[in-house]
Structure 1
Amino acid sequence: MREVPDYWRIADDVIADVESKKLKPGDRLPSIAELRATYDVSHGTVQMAYARLEALRVIRRQQGKGVFVTDPKTWMREP
Structure 2
Amino acid sequence: MWALTTRVRPDKDVFKVPHAPGMPLDPSSEPAGMHTKLVIDATTPVGADKARDTELLGTPEDTDKWREILDNMVNRKED
> TM class, shorter-chain normalised?
under 0.3
Which is richer in strand? 2
Which is richer in helix? 1
TM-score, length-scaled by structure 1: 0.21
Structure of greater Rg:
2
